[in-house]
Structure 1
Amino acid sequence: MRHIKEYDGLRGLMALWVLIGHWAATIYMQFPWPANLGNAYAVDVFVILSGFAIATLVERKRETYGIYIIRRVLRIFPVYWFYLAISIALAWVSVDVWTNAAGGEATPNRLQISLAALDNFWPNVVSHIVALHGVVPRNMVPNGEYAFLGQAWSISLEWQFYLIAPLVIALGVRAAGNFKACLILVIGLFVLSYVSPRFPYSFIGRYSAFFAIGIATYFLLNVGIPLLAHRRIAIAPIALLIVTALILFELPSVLPVSIWIVATAAVLAPSQFGLSAVGGLLRWKPIQALGQMSYSVYLSHMAVLVLGMLALEKAGITSPYLHAALLLIMTLAGTLAISIASYNFIEVPFQRLGRNLATRPQAAE
């Protein structure tokens, strides 16, 4: 199947949603809807996208686990460490910014998180370096999943998924026609649903259903539709897994799933029922460019926002409307500039290195 540009565009729009939501929760005005514009739903869509992307990688590349993990490390860690270092350097600045902020719905919580990050400085540094801050129990390191680089709670979530994804996908493939494999996955879902409340919000168990939707979409697009046409696939085990996941993890909203369904419909039927407009938006060059560097946008924007808040504070600008407008312009422009740089000079070279490592053994043969 072709590379799906619509999903690249979707990734860009979700990164923009996260940024705008964090800006909205910072400004000295209140909206008649959730302060962060519900940007947590954008992360849900990111999780679905990751499920799809990793299923695609695992099934198409057929790499050894070692090569697979090395490529994942080179994909997520270099630019993550770059922005983590910047955020740690800004940790004390963040405390001052949130202490002096004249308003903002998220300000009290951000101040609490910033103070907790410094109170448990080294545990937070170590857990973030290895991207396992999402599995450290809250009673050990309070607010640890949000320390320094708050939005990186989802990076820990993704890393947890990457570590186990090949096994999960292999079991999922077998579960389509093997009752024992299906039973193992169902039991695993029950165990995850039981232990998840004891772990931080970024523990993988809380998002298993969203990862499963992404994985299932890959098999639907690449395997399921052809097999359904020839009645060669067992539906009952797959239905059991999906229903179990949805019940156990109580998806909080239909919104992220609906967004995913619409985007996928635009892939499958781009000329039907107005989906051409959806596909056109997702394939639009500016949105595609944003999608390419969405990871850098996601990681960088809060550091830029904090520096923007600091600059506006130093300038003495407190008028709600002027403050909001200037902060939005500064955050968008600054995030775009630094994201272009980090994408081209950090992400792309390390992705290229990962591809070279993956092809080297084949070339030797």
Structure 2
Amino acid sequence: MRHIKEYDGLRGLMALWVLVGHWAATIYIQFPWPANLGNAYAVDVFVILSGFAIATLVERKRETYGIYITRRVLRIFPVYWFYLAISIALAWVSVDMWTNAAGGEATSNRLQISIAALDNFWPNVISHVVALHGAVPRNMVPNGEYAFLGQAWSISLEWQFYLIAPLVIALGVRAASSFKAGLVLVLGLFVLSYISPRFPYSFIGRYSAFFAIGIATYFLVNVGIPFLTQRRIVIAPIAMLIVTALILLQLPSVLPVSIWIVATASVLVPSQFGLSAIAGLLRWKPVQALGQMSYSVYLSHMAVLVLAMLVLEKAGITSTYLHAALLLIITLAGTLIISIASYNFIEVPFQRLGRNLATRPQAAE
């Protein structure tokens, strides 16, 4: 199947949702809806996207584990370390800034996290450098998953998934024909669900279902859909029935799962139910550009927001609405500028290096 540009666009929109949600939780205006605009749901969609992307990589590339994990390291760590270093440098400034902030729904919580990050400085630095801060039990390092680079809790989550994904996907494939493989997979899921409450929010066990949805989508698109279409079964009504069932069940995951289903349906059957408009939005050039650098946008925006808050504080901006508007403008503009730079000068070169490592053995043959 072709590279799915719609998923790139979806990734960009989710990164924007996270940014705007963090802005909304910072300003001095109270909304009648969740302070962060429910941007945790955007991360749920990111997790599903990762499940799909890694299943695609594992099944199509058939790389050795060493090549696979090296490429993953080159993909996520260089730019992550760059923004982690910036965020650590801003850690002391952040404490003062959140202490002096005139309001904001998330201010008190962010202040507590900033203080805890400095109280456990070296444990937080070490666990963040290896991106395993989301797997450290809470009683060992309080608020450790949110230290320094708060949104990087999901980076730890994804890194945990990358480490075990080839095994999980292989077990999933074998489970279709092997009782033992299926039993191991089921027991593993039960163990994860049992121990998850003892670990931070970013522990992989809490998100195994979302990763599984992404993995299952890969096999559905590449195996299930061809099977169903041969039998003239229309996919879009099935997707709509699933969304309806989720709504009726009132599952907490209804929104991210629904977003995923609609985006996938816009790829498979864009001519039905007006899905062509959604496909067009996701393939729109500005959205595609945002999708390309979504990782940098996701990592950079809080540091930019903190600096923007400092600028507005020094400028003596006290008007609630003017402060909110300027904070959004500066954060958006600053994030886009620095993200374009880090994407082109950090992400792209290391991605290219990863591709070269993957193709070198084949060229030698």
Name the TM-score class by shorter chain: over 0.9
Pair 239,180 (structure 1): closer, same or farther in 2 beyond 3 Å: farther
Residue 180 of structure 1: CA displacement?
Answer: 2.1
Residue 272 of structure 1: CA displacement?
Answer: 1.1
Pair 237,103 (structure 1): closer, same or farther in 2 beyond 3 Å: closer
Match of 2:282 in 1: 282
Match of 1:58 in 2: 58
Deviates more, 1:224-233 or 1:308-317: 224-233
Deviations 1:216-264 (A, max 9, x none): 0000001122345679999999999999999999962300000000000
Deviations 1:8-64 (A, max 9, x none): 000000000000000000000011100000000000000000000000000000000
Deviations 1:276-325 (A, max 9, x none): 00000000000000000000000000000000000001111121100000
Question: Where do 5+ consecutive residues of structure 2 fail to align?
Answer: none
Deviations 1:164-192 (A, max 9, x none): 00000000111122222222111111111
Deviations 1:196-235 (A, max 9, x none): 0000000000000000000000000011223456799999
Deviates more, 1:310-319 or 1:122-131: 310-319
Deviates more, 1:230-239 or 1:130-139: 230-239
Pair 243,101 (structure 1): closer, same or farther in 2 beyond 3 Å: closer
Deviations 1:317-342 (A, max 9, x none): 12110000000000000000000000
Aligned equivalents of 2:234 and 2:211: distance in 1? Answer: 21
Give the structure-1-normalised TM-score. 0.94
RMSD: 3.7
Residue 132 of structure 1: CA displacement?
Answer: 0.3
Aligned equivalents of 2:146 and 2:333: distance in 1? Answer: 24
Deviates more, 1:169-178 or 1:155-164: 169-178
Deviations 1:125-168 (A, max 9, x none): 00000000001111010000000000000000000000000000
Question: Where do 5+ consecutive residues of structure 1 fail to align?
Answer: none
Aligned equivalents of 1:247 and 1:199: distance in 2? Answer: 29
Match of 2:354 in 1: 354
Aligned equivalents of 1:3 and 1:240: distance in 2? Answer: 24
Match of 2:187 in 1: 187
Give the structure-2-normalised TM-score. 0.94
Identity %: 91
Pair 350,246 (structure 1): closer, same or farther in 2 beyond 3 Å: farther
SS in structure 1 at match of 2:134: coil
In 2, are the aligned partners of 1:23 and 1:328 still within 8 Å (CA)? yes
Pair 181,232 (structure 1): closer, same or farther in 2 beyond 3 Å: farther
In 2, are the aligned partners of 1:176 and 1:238 still within 8 Å (CA)? no
Match of 1:105 in 2: 105
Match of 1:307 in 2: 307
In 2, are the aligned partners of 1:78 and 1:347 still within 8 Å (CA)? yes
Aligned equivalents of 1:143 and 1:242: distance in 2? Answer: 36
Tell me how many residue pairs correspond in the alignment.
365
In 2, are the aligned partners of 1:182 and 1:237 still within 8 Å (CA)? no
